[in-house]
Amino acid sequence: MAGGLKAGFVRLMHHLQDPQHVARFQRLCGVRGTEPRDRLRYGAPNARHGDVQSGGGDTARRRTAGAESDGEKGSNVFANGAAGDNVNGQARDKEAVEAQGSAVKPFRRNSLTGDVGQEFIIDNKFLFYLFTLGTELGNELFYISFFPFFMWNVDAYVSRRLVVVWVLVMYLGQCTKDVIRWPRPASPPVVKVEMFYNSEYSMPSTHAMSGTAIPLCLFLLTYSRWEYPLLLGLSLAISWCVLVCLSRIYMGMHSILDIIAGFLYSLLILVVFSPALDIIDTFNCTHPYAPLIIISLHVGLGLFSFTLDTWSTSRGDTAQILGSGAGIALASHINYHLGLLPDPPVSVLPLQPPSFTLSLIGLCLLRFLLGVLILLATRVVMKALAIPLVCWLFGIPSNDVRKARQHMEVELPYRYIVYGTVGLNALFLVPFLFAHVGLL
């Protein structure tokens, strides 16, 4: 009996991991490759998850930006076609498929290999832009926009706790990827609508994890603190979660199993750590040794994660997340002792949302724009200082920055220093300056 259940569970896992399901969902949403003849020639229906053509997993992970062949560097939209195809036949195929939809390429090249990806056909532009928005809700641009805006304009109390959850979820997700080491869905049959993270491992989906944890935690933290309809908050949280999860399948970056695992993993982390958020935040703000422990803990976690695998883009992301979390935790400690951004007393809860006026909207936008300019300047200055300094300390040539950053000795301290400073300035320096110029 137990053996039968185990065998059935294994079959279900393989079924959910099948890249054909991803390809079917993409076709249903109007995404098609530009090489139908080549898909048939390569036998896409029988393509196995993890084949070399997928560009994911160990094969792509161990390629560096300078290791591409001359043929790869000179590739065009038909670069992966069969060597015997003639140019005229390819042109006719391209014209035929483009006549039925819009031919586009991934917005960003792969951050490790530099691969720009192939063209694909979009038949449904609305879904393309909708799922592009969904996947951006789990990317760096969203994090560096959403968290600061929430800190400066809505509720610093909630944002501090939300960042703690984000750091835990992303760190555990990235480490789990490098323990399991499953490749991305194979291509073909999957169309790679996104290339940026294609060299990272796949299981679990950290986009699904953050897309689950952030909206649900935001709802849990704000519902008893702010007055708004329960149904509205719950609907927004669920919609956010579903959009991010489906976007990763649409982009060809994850299997259904990756998404389900990321969703459930994130729920488990929330259940375990949510009761401890008050304890963690109080410790960060009030304990006299909090700064030393925060820095030591985050550096230690970074060192552990960097020993899990060879260099990849996920290593830098992990250091960046840990650095941001450490900087914001340190800022919480400084703010508490300086009385900056004080938490409102319990007696005034629940808080009433302010009336949306033009002056309020203008003030929020002004804070956001000025704050982002300060954070961007911080990033540029610290990056210019940190990389040469770290390379000098460890005797690593700094003339090729991409190659230098593939050394753990460079990537970990560089990311940690830069984004630790950005996090510190986001919650301390920017509000401090706003308070002195009358913008708070």
Nearest to 433 by CA among 370, 378, 377: 370
Tell me the mean pLDDT in the region 303-319: 70
pLDDT band at 119 (very low <50, low <70, confident <90, very high): confident
Confidence (pLDDT) at 312: 61
The pLDDT tens digits of the residues spanning 187-217 come to 788 888 887 777 778 889 999 999 999 999 9
What mean pLDDT is predicted for residues 14-43? 73
For residue 422, the one-letter residue type is V
Residue 167 neighbours by CB under 8 Å, 6+ apart? 321, 322, 324, 325
436 labelled catalytic = no
Dist CA 101 CA 91 (whole Å): 16
Q: Which region holds residue 385: left if phi is over 0, alpha if psi is between -120 and 50, else beta?
A: alpha
**What is the rounded CA–CA span in Å between residue 100 and residue 61?**
35
Q: How confident is the model at residue 40 (pLDDT cuts 50, 70, 90)?
A: very low
Length of the chain: 440
SS3 state at 400: coil
Predicted pLDDT of residue 188: 81
pLDDT digits (tens, 9 = 90+) for 270-290: 999 988 999 999 999 999 999
364 contacts: CB under 8 Å, gap ≥ 6: 149, 152, 153
- Rounded to whole angstroms, the Cα distance separating 236 from 221 reads 14
Q: How many other CB atoms are found less than 10 A from the CB of residue 122? A: 18
* Contact in structure between 159 and 85 (CB atoms under 8 Å): no
The overall average pLDDT reported for the chain is 79
What is the per-residue pLDDT for 114? Answer: 64
Residue ranges per domain, the chain? 120-437
Count of beta carbons in the 10 Å neighbourhood of residue 9: 10
| 134 neighbors 243 (Cβ within 8 angstroms) | yes
Position 60 pLDDT exceeds 60: no
- State the DSSP code for 183: P
Tell whether the model's pLDDT for residue 51 goes beyond 50. Answer: no
Which residue reads 């979820």 in tokens? 169
| pLDDT reported for residue 231 | 92
Dist. CA 299–CA 322, nearest whole Å: 8
pLDDT at 162 over 80: yes
Question: By C-alpha distance, which of 271, 249, 259, 153 is closest to 211?
Answer: 259
Residue 397: predicted pLDDT: 80
Q: Pick the catalytic residue: 49, 207, 298, 333?
A: 207
14 in catalytic set: no
CA proximity to 218, closest of 167, 173, 260, 166:
166
97, pLDDT greater than 60:
no
Note the pLDDT of residue 110. Answer: 63
Phi, psi (degrees; rounded to nearest 5) at 108: -125, 140
Token pair recorded at residue 79: 């670069």
Give Cα separations from 108 to 70, 115, 195, 197 (angstroms): 21, 9, 7, 10
pLDDT at position 113: 61
Exactly one of 14, 15, 21, 254 is catalytic; which is it?
254
CA 268 to chain centre: 19
The predicted structure's pLDDT at residue 105: 66
**Dihedral angle sign, alpha carbons of residues 254, 259, 260, 261:** positive
Question: What residues contact 247, with CB distance under 8 A and at least 6 apart?
Answer: 131, 132, 133, 134, 135, 137, 207
Count CB-CB contacts under 10 A for residue 58.
14
β-strand 120-122 against 31-33: which pairing, if any?
A: antiparallel
Residue 366 has a pLDDT of: 94
Q: Quick one: pLDDT at residue 353?
A: 84
Is residue 261 predicted with pLDDT exceeding 80? yes
Residue with tokens 């390819």: 90
Contacts of 268 (CB under 8 A, 6+ apart): none
Higher pLDDT, 214 or 141: 214
Which positions ≥6 away from 384 have C-beta within 8 Å? none
Query: What's the whole-number mean pLDDT along residues 225-243?
Result: 92
Task: Report how far residue 425's alpha carbon sits from residue 96's, in angstroms, rounded to the nearest whole number.
Answer: 53
Residue 7's Cβ-count burial label (10 Å; 0-12, 13-18, 19+) is: exposed
Question: Can you tell me the mean pLDDT for 175-179?
Answer: 85
